[in-house]
Structure 1
Amino acid sequence: MSISFRSVIIIILVSTFYSNSLKAQPKKGEYINASIGLGLSTSYYEEDGGGTGFYAQAEYANGITKWIGLRTYAGVILTNGDKTNENGDPTEYRISSKAFSLGGKIRVAAPIPYVAPFIESGIGASIGSFHTYTPSTNLKKNGVLMHIPFSLGLAVGRKHSVDIALSYYFYPSMKQISGAFAAGVSIPINN
């Protein structure tokens, strides 16, 4: 029984990838993650009139395995939509969020060395003021609203200690999505 050159190369590549992934997967254990970024708000159904602003979040993360981690978070999103357009005329679109958010989520990360893509989702609540004003929607609420967090990102670095992500909160009752393009850093606890 002969083994082809192609089979040998495939075996070497798979073995190399597998051994490297065991050494550089997202970390297990407990840590704090702090992130900051550009806050954004938009309507579910309209593309115009989104608000921009500030986003910050802190997470307590517990890496159960190198693939899966549980996270509790608290953060703030402050976005404001324009009330007038560039000509000074009132606009038909005004989408804003001014809220403190907290909740829990699960992160699933792929075991790739130095650049580990991840996806996370869960459930949470936001306390604050929300406004979604478009030609088809006029909603304004103050108080506590349920949201669904969703993030796509990369954990980068030798120890995957830097996160770069698109993080969003979906507010079904407001027909609004608020979130951010954010960067964060992880700090281990009890190491």
Structure 2
Amino acid sequence: MKYFIPLLLLIFTNFSQAQDESPNKQNNFSINIGYAFSQPYEGEEYNHGGNIQLEYKHILNKFIDIRPYFSLMAIKSNSDDLIQDGPIETATMTTLLIGGKTRIKAPLKWFAPYFEIGIGASYGSFKTISAKLSIKKTGLFYHIPASVGVELGPKNNINLALNYYYHPNVEQKTGIATIGFSLKLK
């Protein structure tokens, strides 16, 4: 873990240098908002909350984008956790996420399906409780984002997606249904 942050900084430094040399200088930002839910890896119950994410879109070619992102996520415990029969299951978080994703898409107008995967860091507080474990941690942890979605519109500037974040250090997974809009910079 001690090598993770320097490696992440090295990747973003190299990305910013490579961006200036790119023949296809399209600067776009994407703003995504969504409904989020989380649950323990081994659990059945889930909690819900919200997410807002800002992405920078660097187009390598018509099939592949590189997307550094910054996100705020808050998922709180359901009030029903306190009065249910049986073991309590909960997965909550209040966190900042930063990382990078690679998007592979079918470059079609009006409807461009895609898949993306990456790696990132989460800083915040996490609580995961299930029948088999009880984890309460605050700090910096890595996560693995994966998404499926579609870009809509004649310029593919509307985004609908299902995003997943896997947090191995705190044994919880998060799903987010998002809608987003791309803004072109001049």
The two structures have a TM-score, normalised by structure 2, of 0.81
Contact kept, 8 Å, 1:35 with 1:58, in 2: the verdict is yes
| Larger radius of gyration between Structure 1 and Structure 2 | 1
What is the Cα deviation at residue 167 of structure 1? 1.1
What is the Cα deviation at residue 178 of structure 1? 1.8
Matched, 1:151 2:147: yes
Contact kept, 8 Å, 1:97 with 1:129, in 2: the verdict is yes
Q: 1:176 to 1:28 in 2, by over 3 A?
A: farther
What residue identity is the alignment partner of 2:72?
V
Q: Distance in 2 between matches of 1:91 and 1:57?
A: 33
The two structures have a TM-score, normalised by structure 1, of 0.79
Question: What residue is the counterpart of 2:115 in the other structure?
Answer: 119
String of CA shifts for 1:153-191, please: whole Å, max 9, x gaps.
01011110000001121101111112310100001122x
**Structure 1: 4+ residue segments shifted above 6 A:** none
Unaligned runs of 5+ in 1: 1-26
Question: What residue is the counterpart of 1:17 in the other structure?
Answer: none
Question: What residue is the counterpart of 1:46 in the other structure?
Answer: 43
Q: Distance in 2 between matches of 1:83 and 1:34?
A: 30
Unaligned runs of 5+ in 2: 1-23
Question: What residue is the counterpart of 1:183 in the other structure?
Answer: 179
Contact kept, 8 Å, 2:81 with 2:90, in 1: the verdict is no
**Following superposition of structure 1 onto structure 2, how do residues 16-165 of structure 1 map, counting pairs within 5 Å?**
29-48=26-45, 50-82=46-78, 84-85=80-81, 87=83, 92-165=88-161
String of CA shifts for 1:113-158, please: whole Å, max 9, x gaps.
3111111111110110001101112111101010011111010111
Contact kept, 8 Å, 2:87 with 2:131, in 1: the verdict is no
Further displaced range: 80-89 or 154-163: 80-89
What is the Cα deviation at residue 90 of structure 1? 8.2
String of CA shifts for 1:71-116, please: whole Å, max 9, x gaps.
1100011001225448566861111011000011110001233111
What residue identity is the alignment partner of 1:43?
P
Identity of aligned residues (%): 32
What residue identity is the alignment partner of 2:114?
F
Q: Distance in 2 between matches of 1:84 and 1:179?
A: 20
Contact kept, 8 Å, 2:81 with 2:89, in 1: the verdict is no
What is the Cα deviation at residue 29 of structure 1? 2.0
What is the Cα deviation at residue 39 of structure 1? 1.4
